[in-house]
Chains A and B, each alone.
Chain A
Amino acid sequence: MTVFTDVVCPFCGCLCDDLEVTVEDGHVKGVKNACGISRSKFLNHEKNRLEAPTVDGVEVPLEKAVDAAADILSTSMRPLVYGLSSTECVAIAKAVELAELAGGVVDNTSSVCHGPTILALQQVGESKTTLGEVKNRADLVIFWGSNPSQAHLRHIIRYSGMAKGRFIPNGRKDRYIVAVDIRKTGTTRLADEYVKVEPNRDFELLQALRAAVRGHELLAESVAGVPREKVTELAERMKTAKFGIVFFGLGLTQSEGRHMNIDAAVGLVAELNNHTKFLLTPMRGHYNVGGANTVTTWQTGYPYAVDFSRGYPRYNPGEYTSIDMLARGEADSALVIASDPVSTFPAGVVRNLAKIPVVTLDHKVTPTTMLSKVVIPVATAGVEAEGTAYRMDGVPLRLSKLVEPREGVHSDAEVLEMMIKRMGGRAY
């Protein structure tokens, strides 16, 4: 029996790094310190696995599947490489290389989650911090359109709520938590203050707060369903905090306004820095979506939606993003790595995905593997393969290899390397 300590959890953008995993006879037998989802990931990682590489649903040797995948990508006019947020950084780098080799487009899951965040931050900048700073210093924490009680289960415990820090000696008692949302959630319940905003009206509320922070008198009696007094009170509370932070989620990026909501949030935070220290951090979902953006940026200059069809990288969200590529019927093949677009994309574009040959690398059976022409089982990163992942605040952490994958099953990076070699790319 081996006990691994300080194991990093490969599920959400929190990348909790204090897990204890017990391994016996090559199988995970127990997990300590994990949330319910993390526990499920470690203890169920052997369930519902893809049994063998397949082409058109027929089991084939790995080499044949790699050949078929390489043939599809190299004979396509407009291949789309998608996913990448639930694997480690070397695999992401190889996927980018493969997209370049195929003259295709490489995109990651941020295009359907925090893509609008990236668009806004590229326009107006970002005041960043680490979750460690939040733990040690934040006395005002605002969750806006995010619900860590369901999506980032230990965020509030480890970093932003209960955690005791150097300047927050009493933990929860020393922090004031505000939750802005269109509905009551577990997070609004544990917050000191719930600000109920009308659906699709976050932009107005952010701008009203910005005006109030700047000292303008609000003329409207209520903004986005929030009474004027509440807006001015919140603005005052923000100005008088010692260290404030906004953790925002898909409530801002996937509703009307999208990147303009984030633009307004950044503007509010910038305004607040005339009075005190204030920051904002996106609540990134998949554990290495931050890495997908980071690696793609250091390789191509751009974080997602990158087109190589001219031989050099071009960036244009709205055009080279997966949803748009599929909606136009432009992608004529797809390579999906560590993602399940059939479960996460609107049905209208999934129908187009179903019309083209899809190659999928995954460890488990998913709706995407069900409609893929080529399916290659891979090792689970962070359980059966090591690597690096980027936390939601941009801190890179090392994922562990705790158990061996089944015989003949390789990591995403190794399978992508095989495809690169097969397509005539450089071997490393």
Chain B
Amino acid sequence: MSKLKVTLVSGRTAQQGIGLEEGKTSDNYVKSVNHVQLCPEDAAKMKLKEGDAVSVETRHGSVVVNWRPSKELEGGMVFFPYGPWANQVYGYETEGTGTPIFKGIEATVAPTKGKVKSIEELVKSLGGDRK
């Protein structure tokens, strides 16, 4: 199986909190948010090896990130820590509430030969090149 249909859920992690207090450009922060967590069985279905990148896609966009196994997740559920990488695949519709949906989104995950962007590349790709 190359592409897996999943439910995407985002959220905070302690590592993300620790990393962001070091700085958003620090290695610790970047590593804490530029990955998704998959259950080992789903990773096996996609024949993912440690160090492989995956492409996460929703109807709003796609992004290339690293992956990590998580025994807490059940098959078909993917956890994406809050951050600039996760935000590539979320939509901005708020349906009059002001708040987009960040949890429980239909997505696909697939192995990719693509490269995980650095934080600078990501900001640049969003139009931010005023550094």
Which A residues form the contact surface with B (CB < 8 A)?
A: 11-12, 35-37, 40-41, 44-45, 47-48, 56-57, 111-113, 115-116, 119, 147, 149-151, 153, 182-185, 189, 199-200, 250-251, 253-256, 258-259, 285, 304-305, 317-318, 321-324, 326-327, 340, 342-351, 354-355, 364-367, 370-373
- The answer to whether A40 and B60 touch (CB under 8 A), given A324-B98, A351-B127, is no
Chain B, residue nearest A189 (CB): B72
- Rounded to whole angstroms, the CA-CA distance of A372 and B127 in the bound complex is 11
Nearest CB of chain B from residue A146's CB, rounded to whole Å = 10
Asked if B114 CB lies within 8 Å of chain A CBs, one says no
List B97-131 residues whose CB lies under 8 Å from chain A. 97-104, 119-120, 122-123, 126-131
Asked if B56 CB lies within 8 Å of chain A CBs, one says no
Number of A-B contacts (CB under 8 A): 196
Q: Contact at A256–B101, with CB atoms within 8 Å? A: yes
Q: Contact at A47–B126, with CB atoms within 8 Å? A: no
Chain B, residue nearest A151 (CB): B12
Chain B, residue nearest A114 (CB): B99
Q: Contact at B104–A40, with CB atoms within 8 Å? A: no
- The answer to whether A347 and B100 touch (CB under 8 A), given A324-B94, A364-B23, A370-B123, is no
Convert B20-34 into 0s and 1s, putting 1 for each residue whose CB lies closer than 8 angstroms to a CB of A.
011111100000000
Q: Contact at B91–A116, with CB atoms within 8 Å? A: no
Nearest CB of chain B from residue A355's CB, rounded to whole Å = 6
- The answer to whether A318 and B97 touch (CB under 8 A), given A36-B18, A48-B26, A343-B83, is yes
Q: Contact at A350–B94, with CB atoms within 8 Å? A: no
Q: Which residues of the partner chain B approach A326 to less than 8 Å between Cβ atoms?
A: 92
List B55-112 residues whose CB lies under 8 Å from chain A. 60-61, 72-74, 77, 79, 82-84, 87-88, 90-104
Q: Which residues of the partner chain A approach B92 to less than 8 Å between Cβ atoms?
A: 323, 326-327, 345-346, 348-349
Q: Contact at A348–B60, with CB atoms within 8 Å? A: yes
Can you report 24 A-B residue pairs in the complex whose CB atoms are below 8 A from each other? Answer: A11-B17, A40-B18, A45-B21, A48-B24, A111-B99, A115-B99, A150-B12, A151-B12, A183-B72, A189-B72, A199-B104, A250-B102, A251-B103, A255-B103, A258-B95, A258-B99, A321-B98, A324-B98, A327-B93, A342-B126, A343-B82, A347-B90, A367-B24, A370-B131
Asked if B38 CB lies within 8 Å of chain A CBs, one says no
- Rounded to whole angstroms, the CA-CA distance of A330 and B74 in the bound complex is 42
Q: Contact at B23–A365, with CB atoms within 8 Å? A: yes
Chain A, residue nearest B131 (CB): A370
Q: Which residues of the partner chain B approach A147 to less than 8 Å between Cβ atoms?
A: 11-12
Chain A, residue nearest B127 (CB): A354
Chain B, residue nearest A200 (CB): B104
Q: Which residues of the partner chain A approach B91 to less than 8 Å between Cβ atoms?
A: 346, 348
Chain B, residue nearest A117 (CB): B99
Partner of A323, one of B18, B19, B72, B99: B99
Nearest CB of chain A from residue B58's CB, rounded to whole Å = 10
If A12-B17, A40-B21, A327-B92 are given as contacts, then 18 extra A-B residue pairs at C-beta distance below 8 Å, sorted by A number, are A112-B99, A116-B98, A184-B73, A184-B74, A250-B11, A254-B102, A255-B104, A256-B104, A317-B96, A323-B94, A323-B100, A326-B92, A342-B123, A344-B82, A344-B87, A350-B126, A367-B24, A371-B129
